[in-house]
């Protein structure tokens, strides 16, 4: 799936009203199932999940504020952001003064609609542009929210790409935001494209893709998969994957997990502007995977981080804000990172006493004519020196400040020449 097709997916998903539960999530997963064979899970309301409980399911059909002439001055049909997510049903007539405490605007951006939620405290409200509110005269207004909040299910999607080994890499993105193209639809599109690529690639690791509502979704998945957690070796949470900003990688709680080292190596080697930030227990679902009881090696890849751009959680985060080339760049970075994870091995030098003679094994001849012959030769020497059963190829690339691909090519040549063997357990 190229950048243009990922952008088409963002545009198609954008109008759906998603929340942490409900039919909008189901419809989103149905559309994704056209691209990858998702397994959809339904978890009943009231199910205990770690320290939480699966909430009631919320759905909405219509909502508006109408003036005394019946004109809808705020209409859910125009934007799903207009209603505070999880608003309880309302049907009343009230004055503007009475209504104001239920209205949310962004005075600093008067033409934008904010995104607001009330998941775990029964309430209701409308979000609207400050310009719209300023144009509303005093008087009576009809307020109507046709929603339901009752026992149902929490819905999430899962797709597993089998690997050559049972060790897993998880890729997670959140599917709970309405009408926010960068936060979260760009991440969904990149994850979907990545899953399709890996399914055609016969990867080394097993890759598990999770399309879950934020916070409660990852908590629910972890609660239902305790027996699988020990298989998780690496993980990445994708969000804000399509804006104009440079890439930002947020490290896992460990800080030195293999996924942390891979992203640091790749981003540094790329020479592109980027930022590496330390873990904090605030952000996306990496904070659940990195909670102290699990402490998994899961980082988060974004472009501009959450709340780092003015359009964040507003109607300005629309499909025009998302760039196809930015999603393609994010996808390429994920592809490169997982290629490193899948090829990272630890070797043992079978001729460790002194430097083995490479020339009589034809290894120098194999470099003839290569534009990077000196770099390739240096990579061979570094691989031989550090192949003591304790240093991986990523360790070699970092220590030698060489491209990982060059180090892998050197290791392959040395192995084929009978100078290396894989260390036990790698």
Residue 297 in tokens: 């090696």
Instruction: State the Cα torsion 68-70-75-78 to the nearest 10°.
Output: -140
Sorted by sequence, the CB contacts under 8 Å of residue 218 that are 6+ apart come out as: 172, 210, 212, 285, 288, 289
- Distance, in Å, from the CA atom of 160 to the CA atom of 157, rounded to the nearest integer, reads 10
CB 309 within 8 A of CB 172: no
Q: Is 183 annotated as a binding residue?
A: yes
Q: Is 271 exposed, middle or buried (0-12, 13-18, 19+ CB in 10 A)?
A: exposed
Strands 168-174 and 206-212: parallel
Does residue 184 contact residue 327 with C-beta atoms inside 8 Å?
A: no
For residue 62, count other CB atoms closer than 10 A to its CB: 12
Residue with tokens 């780092």: 308
Quick one: DSSP state of residue 284?
S
Strand partners, 277: 250
What percentage of the chain's residues is helix, strand, coil (to nearest 5)? 35, 25, 40
Q: What is the C-alpha separation between 386 and 348, in angstroms, rounded? A: 8
The answer to whether 153 and 45 are in contact (CB under 8 A) is yes
Q: Which residues make up each annotated binding site?
A: 177, 183, 313
Q: Which residues make up each annotated binding site for Zn(2+)?
A: 177, 183, 313
């Amino acid at each position: 799936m190229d950048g243009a097709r990922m952008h088409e997916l963002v545009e198609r998903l954008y109008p759906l009203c998603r929340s942490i539960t409900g039919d909008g999530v189901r419809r989103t997963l149905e559309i994704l199932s056209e691209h990858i064979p998702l397994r959809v899970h339904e978890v009943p309301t009231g199910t205990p999940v770690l320290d939480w409980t699966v909430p009631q399911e919320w759905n909405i059909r219509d909502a508006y504020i109408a003036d005394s002439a019946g004109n809808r001055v705020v209409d859910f049909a125009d934007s799903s952001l207009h209603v505070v997510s999880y608003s309880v049903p309302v049907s009343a007539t009230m004055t503007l003064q009475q209504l104001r405490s239920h209205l949310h605007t962004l005075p600093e951006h008067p033409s934008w609609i904010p995104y607001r939620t009330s998941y775990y405290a029964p309430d209701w409200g409308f979000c609207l542009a400050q310009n719209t509110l300023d144009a509303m005269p005093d008087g009576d207004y009809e307020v109507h929210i046709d929603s339901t909040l009752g026992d149902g299910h929490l819905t999430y999607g899962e797709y597993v790409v089998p690997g050559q080994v049972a060790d897993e890499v998880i890729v997670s993105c959140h599917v709970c935001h309405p009408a926010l193209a960068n936060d979260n639809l760009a991440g969904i599109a990149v994850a979907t494209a990545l899953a399709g690529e890996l399914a055609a690639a016969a990867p080394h690791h097993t890759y598990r893709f999770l399309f879950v509502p934020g916070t409660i979704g990852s908590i629910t998945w972890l609660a239902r998969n305790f027996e699988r957690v020990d298989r998780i070796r690496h993980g990445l949470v994708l969000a804000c994957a399509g804006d104009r900003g440079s890439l930002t990688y947020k490290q896992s709680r460990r800080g030195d997990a293999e996924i942390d080292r891979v992203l640091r190596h790749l981003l540094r080697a790329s020479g592109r502007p980027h930022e590496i930030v330390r873990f904090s227990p605030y952000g996306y679902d990496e904070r659940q995977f990195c909670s102290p009881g699990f402490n998994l090696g899961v980082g988060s890849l974004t472009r501009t981080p959450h709340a780092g751009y003015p359009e964040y959680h507003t109607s300005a985060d629309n499909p025009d804000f998302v760039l196809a080339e930015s999603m393609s760049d994010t996808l390429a970075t994920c592809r490169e990172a997982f290629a490193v994870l899948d090829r990272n091995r630890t070797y043992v030098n079978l001729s460790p006493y002194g430097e083995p003679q490479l020339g009589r094994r034809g290894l120098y001849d194999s470099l003839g004519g290569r534009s990077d012959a000196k770099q390739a030769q240096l990579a061979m020497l570094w691989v031989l020196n550090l192949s003591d059963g304790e240093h991986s190829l990523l360790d070699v690339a970092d220590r030698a400040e060489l491209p990982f691909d060059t180090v892998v090519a050197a290791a392959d040549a040395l192995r084929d020449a009978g100078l290396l063997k894989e260390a036990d357990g790698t």
